[in-house]
Amino acid sequence: MRIRTAGVVAVLGLALAASGCGGSDDDSSAPAAKESAGATGGKLVIWADDKRTAALKPFAEKFGQENGVTVEVQAVSKDLQTNFVTASQQGSGPDVVVGAHDWIGNLVQNGAIDPVQLAADQKSGFNETAVKAVTFNGQLYGVPYAMENLALIRNTELAPEAPKTIEDLVAAGKKLKADKKASEILCLQSGQNGDAYHIYPLYTSAGGYLFGTAANGDYDPKDLGVGKPESIAAFQKIAKLGEKGEGALKRSITPENSIATFTGKKCAFLVSGPWAIADAKKANISYDISPVPGFAGGSQAQPFVGVQAFYVAAKGKNKALAQEFVANYTTKPELAVALYNAEPRPPALTAALDQVKGSDPDLAKFTEAGKNGQVLPAIPAMAAIWDPFGKAEAAIIGGADPAKTITAAGKTISGQIK
């Protein structure tokens, strides 16, 4: 489950920006890493979460045997990013860490990761959006292995047709409630603190944005969209779906109960990601997956696209070996498929996606739902968004004035960015 909380990427204050980290991604870099790795020997330490640790261990052991080194894959169950930054600053961190791409801005500013040196032909084997997600300040900082985005998952027994607009969805959901076939119109998690990640498709469809982009396409923290007229107009539309309006968006739908409400057949429509599918299958729900519908007459709904990746620790004890593992081992389809089997999210490596998509039609549907999505901003300023934006969303869903509430949130966010 994807849950966003305040300060998820703002930890321990920001150290001096790691400018001029060096490294390149030209064709000559990867062989150089391999030569120095072989001469170094020693031990390679990899940190990952529980699900990925088990999948990584056999590959790590094989890499160790091939390179004459010891490889340890250590599970960090909670606060992996925070623990990594702390350990990095103390000189006790791993050589490689596995995590979300939106950590990158924070990790770079804390001097915790180095650019990854991939040859051009290696980069071309990945989904372009995934490569863009792990590129920061013009440099590649990670090797992506999986992608994720929200989609509309619907119970096809209750809702045979995919709604074309959010208005169509609300109408269908209200009829199901009236017929006592469902108790909720829509399961889109909010809770008392809101959820910027899950509301984002509707926010973008109504014209809202978080950050503008600079000439090079990177997100520009100086162009904050929250509190601007576009965001006010967006939340005025969202408010009409809230508790004082249609009742489709409710604070009682939380990260803890949104999927369970859907699998309990209490609502026909769920906005969630690939992580929800296992529960739907376990509950024997007949389901289908389609893009999150936008507002009638509005823009296409754009979910965030997130990427999971491998990073080379800047203060690791065996950096050459880490570069070799990340650049020339995590790029193998076999490893990407094993990670997919541990948790089915679309592989970022095209060759791996081609291997698994035939047996899992859901992958193509999630990919289709995310093809017009926006890469989740990895800039440090994003840390200032989650809490104020989410709380404003929850308040507006509950009936607070959209203009006043989102304007105040914009001022709070702007103050934290400066």
Tokens 């150290």 belong to: 15
Q: What is the pLDDT of residues 132-152, one digit of tens each?
A: 999 998 899 999 999 999 999
Q: Which CATH class is domain 29-148+306-375?
A: alpha beta
**Top-confidence residue, 215 or 297:** 297
Say if residues 106 and 85 touch (Cβ distance below 8 Å).
yes
What's the pLDDT at 415? 96
Burial 215-254 (b: 16+ CB within 10 A, else e): eeebbbbeebbbbbebbbbbbebbbbbbbeebbbbbbebb
Whole-angstrom distance, CA of residue 111 vs CA of residue 246: 48
Beta bridge partners of residue 148, listed in sequence order: 306
- Mean pLDDT value across residues 243-248: 98
Whole-angstrom distance, CA of residue 416 vs CA of residue 147: 29
Q: What is the pLDDT of residues 256-268, one digit of tens each?
A: 999 999 999 999 9
For residue 400, which of 270, 249, 299 has the smallest C-alpha distance? 249
* 282: pLDDT strictly greater than 90: yes
Angle between helices 229-240 and 402-417 (to 10 degrees): 130
What's the pLDDT at 343? 85
What's the pLDDT at 40? 45
What's the pLDDT at 41? 53
Q: What is the pLDDT of residues 380-414, one digit of tens each?
A: 899 899 999 999 999 999 999 999 999 999 999 99
Q: Which two tokens stand for residue 378?
A: 């990895």
Q: What share of the chain is helix, strand, coil (3-state, %, to 5)?
A: 45, 15, 40
For 16, counting Cβ atoms within 10 Å of its Cβ (0-12 exposed, 13-18 middle, 19+ buried), the class is exposed
Say if residues 313 and 22 touch (Cβ distance below 8 Å).
no
Whole-angstrom distance, CA of residue 260 vs CA of residue 265: 9
E strand segments, 255-373: 269-272, 287-290, 304-313
Q: Which two tokens stand for residue 363?
A: 């992958």
Beta bridge partners of residue 294, listed in sequence order: 165
What's the pLDDT at 131? 94
* 124: pLDDT strictly greater than 80: yes
pLDDT over 70 for what percent of the chain? 90
The size of the chain, in residues, is 418
Give ∠ CA 192-198-202 in degrees, rounded to 5.
Answer: 110
Whole-angstrom distance, CA of residue 88 vs CA of residue 111: 8
Whole-angstrom distance, CA of residue 196 vs CA of residue 145: 24
Q: Where in the chain is the domain with CATH 3.40.190.10?
A: 29-148+306-375, 151-302+385-417
Provide the pLDDT confidence category of residue 78 given band limits of 50, 70 and 90: confident
The CATH superfamily holding the domain 151-302+385-417 is Periplasmic binding protein-like II (3.40.190.10)
